[in-house]
């Protein structure tokens, strides 16, 4: 059975990668609007009425407008998958991170509207939610997340700057502690205390490292690195895309090793003598952090196998 899909915003970075992944699938029929019609609400609404699913790859306000337009179709509205920030903590949208729990995967399968997670929060949530649920990290524990991403995650202006070779080699930003991903990170990690999140960008196209430092002696019950590793290993056992592993103190992690895949590695580093630990997630900000995750969710929603990798 073939399923028809319209990518609203297919000319952007995320949309182009989603299109490339889906174009190889015989059971997915991609539908498009011409350049002259893609901003015409009547043409867009007419196409929405003809497809099974719409993937929104738009700025936040435009995503809200397209979602509202789809809603006017009533029972004929397609299933929506939003890759913007607009609906990630909206109560009427299901959060598209199936590895949170089996119940989350089931909710995505049944949902009419799914919000794709942000690139930066994906790794920390996959670490923190199981640990908070298991009581190894209290919900009110002070958490800090430091992250570095390739410039492709920064939107058209940042991409243009770096491709013109005028961007900085490395820079911190979001230093007002109000990055737009923080509400999502806090909500789905199960934290009651607002985490500190400091993002950064470096002069390479794609790939991401998130790191969370922990003082083990501040955790209740004399938690060890082995406890953390065991909890995460059990939670993510059988996952197709999440790999949990013990970190080696001799590691030298670079962020691009998983580019063009939907895989994510969760590493646990610990020094029991010093009672310190570091949780590090590595993944592609355009893969599991965006396009790959969107395609994974679409497969669940439509009940079909999908290809989450880019062609080699």
- H-type helices in the chain, by residue range? 13-22, 41-48, 60-71, 102-110, 119-133, 155-163, 182-189, 225-235, 292-302
- Show the beta-strand stretches assigned E in the chain: 3-8, 28-31, 53-56, 79-82, 94-95, 113-115, 144-150, 170-172, 196-202, 208-215, 242-246, 264-271, 276-283
Is the Cα dihedral 252, 134, 243, 306 positive or negative? negative
| Catalytic position from the list 119, 219, 223, 281 | 119
How many Å apart are CA 197 and CA 43, to the nearest integer? 41
Measuring CA to CA, how many Å separate 131 from each of 53, 77, 190, 228? 34, 38, 10, 7
CA 223 and chain centroid, separation: 28
Are 200 and 145 contacting, i.e. CB atoms less than 8 angstroms apart? no
The overall longest dimension of the chain from CA atoms, in Å, is 65
Active site residue 119: yes
Q: Which two tokens stand for residue 166?
A: 């005028």
Report, as residue numbers or ranges, the catalytic residues. 119
């Amino acid at each position: 059975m073939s399923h028809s899909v319209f990518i609203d915003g297919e000319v952007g970075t995320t949309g182009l990668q989603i299109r490339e992944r889906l174009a190889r699938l015989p059971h997915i029929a991609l539908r498009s609007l011409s350049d002259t019609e893609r901003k015409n609400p009547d043409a867009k609404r007419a196409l929405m009425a003809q497809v099974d699913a719409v993937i929104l790859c738009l700025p936040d306000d435009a995503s809200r407008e397209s979602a509202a337009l789809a809603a006017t179709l009533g029972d004929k509205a397609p299933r929506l998958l939003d890759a913007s920030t607009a609906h990630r903590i909206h109560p009427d949208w299901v959060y598209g991170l199936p590895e949170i729990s089996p119940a989350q995967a089931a909710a995505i399968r049944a949902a009419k509207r799914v919000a794709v997670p942000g690139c930066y929060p994906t790794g920390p949530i996959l670490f923190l939610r199981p640990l908070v649920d298991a009581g190894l990290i209290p919900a009110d524990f002070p958490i800090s997340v430091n992250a570095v991403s390739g410039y492709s995650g920064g939107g058209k202006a940042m991409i243009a700057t770096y491709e013109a070779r005028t961007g900085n080699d490395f820079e911190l930003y979001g230093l007002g502690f109000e990055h737009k991903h923080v509400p999502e990170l806090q909500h789905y990690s199960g934290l009651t205390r607002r985490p500190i999140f400091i993002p950064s960008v470096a002069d390479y196209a794609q790939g991401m490292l998130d790191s969370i430092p922990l003082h083990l002696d501040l955790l209740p019950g004399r938690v060890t690195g082995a406890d953390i590793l065991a909890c995460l290993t059990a939670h993510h056992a059988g996952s197709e895309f999440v790999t949990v592993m013990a970190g080696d103190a001799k590691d030298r992690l670079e962020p691009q090793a998983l580019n063009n895949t939907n895989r994510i590695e969760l590493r646990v580093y610990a020094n029991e003598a010093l009672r310190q630990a570091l949780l590090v997630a590595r993944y592609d900000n355009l893969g599991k952090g965006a396009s790959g995750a969107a395609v994974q969710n679409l497969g669940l929603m439509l009940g079909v196998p999908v290809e989450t990798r880019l062609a080699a």
